[in-house]
């Protein structure tokens, strides 16, 4: 099992890769798949701001592209000094690749201060596969 300390070191090593010339808000993320593999990502901005992508989704999409379909844990760190939660879009993507509400989300500051939450705490009324498939249309 991968340790939180090794993930924190990974986040610190990749946050400088963030491409954030417009917001100047660097974010790094890591996801741990159910098979133990770890994928990292950083936010990537675009002058057409709607085309930007958050670090969490970069990490998740890298994992999915390598065959991971189940995420156990998500880590996120920004350079703003305080732990920050994933945005709503990222929470929904986390939900898509989580099996249940117990997926852990760990938010770090660059100092290593951490806050742990469950997906169900940050997205209590998630839109999920079962909510789509259970519709009687």
Q: How many whole angstroms from its chain centre is CA 49?
A: 19
Q: By the 8 A CB rule, do 106 and 74 touch?
A: yes
Strand, helix or coil for residue 135: coil
56 is catalytic: yes
Q: Tokens 């010339």 correspond to what residue?
A: 21
Distance, CA of 6 to CA of 14 (rounded, Å): 13
Terminal Cα distance for the chain, rounded: 43
56, 70, 82, 121: the active-site residue: 56
Q: Tokens 């400088």 correspond to what residue?
A: 16
Name the strand (E) or helix (H) holding 76. strand 71-78
Residues classed as catalytic: 56
């Amino acid at each position: 099992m991968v340790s939180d300390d090794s993930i924190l070191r990974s986040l610190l090593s990749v946050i400088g890769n963030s491409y954030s010339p417009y917001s100047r808000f660097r974010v790094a993320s890591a996801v741990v798949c159910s098979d133990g593999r770890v994928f990292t990502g950083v936010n990537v901005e675009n002058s057409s701001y709607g085309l930007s992508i958050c670090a969490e989704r970069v990490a998740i999409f890298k994992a999915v592209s390598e065959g991971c379909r189940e995420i156990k844990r998500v880590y996120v760190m920004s350079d703003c000094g305080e732990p920050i939660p994933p945005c709503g879009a990222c929470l929904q993507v986390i939900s898509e690749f989580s099996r249940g509400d117990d997926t852990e989300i760990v938010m770090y500051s660059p100092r290593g201060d951490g806050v742990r939450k469950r997906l169900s705490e940050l997205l209590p009324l998630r839109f999920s596969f079962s909510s789509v498939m259970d519709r009687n249309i």
